Amino acid sequence: MGVSERRAREREEMRSRILEAARNLFASEGYDAVTLRKVADCIEYCPATIYKYFADKDEMVRALCEEDIAAMMATFRPSMTKLNPLERLISFGGAYIEMGLEQPNHYRLMFMTPLLPPDDVLRAEKHADPDSDSYGLFRSVVQTCIDTGVFREELTDAELIAQTLWAGLHGVISLHIALGADPNVVWRPVRERAQYLHDLMLRGMLREGVEYPPRGIETESALTAM
């Protein structure tokens, strides 16, 4: 009965071939540049064939995005064990920033584009997978910081803290992606702004007596990811 396994494998290979054809287009030119006809031409199949592997264009590009982002965040995981909770948090933020700046098209689709009303029950289960649930991982790091007394006494809501830190970094990244080329604003360097806001938020949250680690930690982990 090895035939069904082979079929599944061939199917997976075809799926990957489609995604790889779309990947270059998307990463370099964005969502609109990914045309089903272009992708089909690239792999020498007809456009309708793609619908045998993906429900629609959006599902295809989102699958590709999730793969790539999960892969980038995965390269960051090993360094987590070597650091203390606060360093882990800082390092995670740094990796997130680099990810957004290096893959703006990915970032734009995943974090700056509202997803259609799901009406699809399969999505919810898919995200339960901790590898692709970066937010869940981030929140658990925040929880660890709370448990080890990193934050001020009154800060007990991991969701609020995680969402606030996320929003801050997301603001710098997304504003840079959307308006970074706007000539009407004299932008300060985006990494400096990200660093400054990151520091500002964390210092405002730290319990008195907890020392803020020197910079360089998140830079190292970002370098290993490149």
Q: Which residues bind a second copy (CB under 8 A)?
A: 108, 111-115, 117-118, 124, 127, 133, 135-136, 157, 159-160, 163-164, 166-172, 174-175, 177-179, 181-188, 192-193, 196-197, 200-201, 203-205
Q: Closer to a second copy at the Cβ: 15 or 170?
A: 170
Shortest spacing between CB 65 and DNA, in angstroms:
15
Find the binder of DNA among 30, 42, 58, 67 (CB under 7 A): 58
Rg of the chain on CA atoms, in Å? 20
**52 binds DNA, rule: CB under 7 A:** yes
Q: What φ, ψ does residue 174 adopt, rounded to 5°?
A: -70, -35
Site residues (CB under 7 A) for DNA, limited to 11-40: 11, 14, 34-38
Shortest spacing between CB 108 and a second copy, in angstroms:
8
Which residues 6+ apart lie within 8 Å of 178 measured at CB? Answer: 112
Shortest spacing between CB 37 and DNA, in angstroms:
5
* 3 state DSSP class of 48: helix
**CA dist list (Å): 197 to 24, 57, 93, 117:** 33, 36, 11, 33
Which residues 6+ apart lie within 8 Å of 98 measured at CB? Answer: 222, 225
Q: Closer to DNA at the Cβ: 120 or 159?
A: 120
